[in-house]
Structure 1
Amino acid sequence: MIRLQAFLARAGVGSRRKAEGLILEGRVRVNGALARLGQKVGPGDLVEVDGKRVEPPKERVVLALHKPKGYTTTRHDPYAQKTVFDLLPPIPGLHPIGRLDRDSEGLLLFTNDGALTFRLTHPRHGVKKVYRVWTEGGSLPEAVCRKLVQGVELEDGPARALFCRPAPGGAFLALAEGRKREVRRMLRAVGYPVRRLLRVRVGPIRLGDLPPGRWRRLSEEEVAALLRESGLE
């Protein structure tokens, strides 16, 4: 027996927080009865969300995509000409682990395991994401890198890099959280607006030589490393 919100997360409905919201909104039923937050379910129980049966995925799937510029990280968006799901196989429950904005490129992970998504995206778990940036000001001076590590003030609160290293035309830097357009806003705050942003690593998973627009399935060893990183091992 497991808690209902954990069941829903593992089924790919969304994070545990989203699952809790669905339960509180009265959109979840167990064996025909309105579900309660904290309720436990087992193999014989019928779980429904908005009248549709929900079952845990038979197999955990984790994919890596090299997201090209111009694609939106969403499944359905009437204003988006291209979405990342145009590039992926039709796997039930597949959803992105975090996001990259339309103008950004690089490594984007997908899974059908909501619990894994929650662990890898929640700030308290501090999963490191590494970016290669090119800026309008060229290579970042050491002093600017130190300022980014010390922290800068944004409109939604302070933000800091885990590390920053100058590189030709810009820098490499790492963050432990993923607020909306956070890297771009941080660099603009220090006077170095981003021209190009490429995410090269999420936790132990590297972009490597995966071509833009292509995806691959993570190996068992890579999935195990992600589970260790998320504390789900």
Structure 2
Amino acid sequence: MSWSKLYSGPEPQRVNKWLAQEGVCSRREAEALIADGLVSIDGARVDDVGRKIEPGQKLTLSDKAQRKLDAAFTAVLNKPVGYVSSQPETGQTPAARLITGANLIGAASVPAKDASLAPLGRLDQDSRGLLLLSDDGVLAKAVIGPASRLDKEYLVRVDGKLNDKKLTLLRHGLSLDGKALKPAKINVVEDQRLRFTLSEGRNRQIRRMCEAVDLGVTDLLRLRIGPLKLGDLHEGKWRALTPQERKALIAQS
């Protein structure tokens, strides 16, 4: 079913910006749809990528446009240690290499080997757990965009003396690269094992936080991104993100 909505903003707004704000697609995707003649306002095709929509006008995406957007792909992967989520350097193996038919759980179309799947959030080579690999621009903005409100949960095993002073600093009192960290929720699960819930994603943040209070990290497992949980997905396996999960991630961002 095609997407259609009446614009009720107080003043004219660029079509691509409004579609992005509505969570329909990214600005770049909107421009591509306009260029392909798949967007109309009050029944008239939009030909100018810079076109603005006026209050009271109705914008409609064609069925073909909706099919293009629905074709966006996101893999939910349980990444093992030893794979990098980002662009691999010499001798490293990208996590996207695991997105194969042999590792698939459930039903899904396996992307081509040359598909461009970006990691939605960092998970370094020595860490494991929930990782999203996607070509979905709207979802990327929801998960890792600067305005995202999705928190992320980790189970972390540490090495070193753990005490209340260190826990207090970890929760709120540390800075990285000269910038104070946002407050973190940190609970002791059992001896030497902590549950971190973070609302930001700095480079190797948990490892650097622990290092700042003389703790080493011996295991780091990401359990959750916003409402999406790793669940019982086995290590090295992946499944397709469902439309309901995508909607929930975008709604909570």
Is the pair's TM-score, using the shorter chain for normalization, greater than 0.5?
yes
Conservation of the 8 A alpha-carbon contact between 2:142 and 2:249: no
Aligned residues: 199
Q: What is the Cα-based RMSD across aligned positions, in Å?
A: 3.4
Task: Spell out the pairing of 1:100-119 with structure 2 (5 A cutoff).
Answer: 100-119=123-142
**Residues of 1 paired with 2:157 and 2:211: CA distance?**
12
Cα 1:132–1:83 shift into 2, 3 Å: same
Cα deviation for residue 156 of structure 1 reads: 4.3
Q: Which residue of 1 aligns with 2:211?
A: 188
Highest Rg: 1 or 2? 2
Query: Is it true that 1:65 corresponds to 2:77 in the alignment?
Result: yes
Partner of 2:4: none
Whether 2:97 is the aligned partner of 1:86: answer yes
TM-score, length basis structure 2 = 0.66
- For 2:71 and 2:133, locate their aligned partners in 1 and report how far apart those are by CA, in whole Å: 14
User: In the alignment, which residue of structure 2 is the partner of 1:143?
Assistant: 165
Task: Write the distance in 2 (CA, Å) between the matches of 1:4 and 1:137.
Answer: 50
> Would the alpha carbon gap of residues 227 and 124 (structure 1) be closer, same or farther in structure 2, given more than 3 Å must change?
closer
**CA drift at 1:112:** 2.2
Letter in 2 for 1:60: A
Q: Deviations over 1:164-191 (max 9, x none)?
A: 0012322001111111101110111111
Unaligned runs of 5+ in 2: 1-13, 37-48, 53-59, 100-109
8 A Cα contact 1:161 1:173, kept in partner: no
Amino acid at match of 1:3: N
Question: Contact conserved, 1:135 with 1:194, CA < 8 A, in 2?
Answer: yes
Alpha-carbon distance in structure 1 between the residues aligned to 2:91 and 2:76? 21
Give, in angstroms, the shift of residue 222 of structure 1: 1.9
| Deviation digits for residues 30-89 of structure 1 (CA, Å, limit 9, x no counterpart) | 69xxxxxx8359989xxxxxxxxxx95442333210010010113x53514311111114
Change (3 A) 1:134 1:78: closer
- Report the TM-score, using the length of structure 1 for normalisation: 0.71
| TM-aligned CA distance change 1:97 to 1:40, over 3 Å | farther
Counterpart pick for 1:205 among 210, 228, 231: 228
- In structure 1, stretches of 5+ residues that fail to align are 24-29, 32-37, 45-54
Whether the 8 Å CA contact 1:142–1:165 is kept in 2: the answer is no
1:73 counterpart letter in structure 2: S
Which residue of 187, 198, 201 maps to 1:165? 187
What SS is found at the alignment partner of 1:124?
Answer: coil
Percent identical pairs in the alignment equals 32
Contact 1:131/1:199 (<8 A) preserved: yes
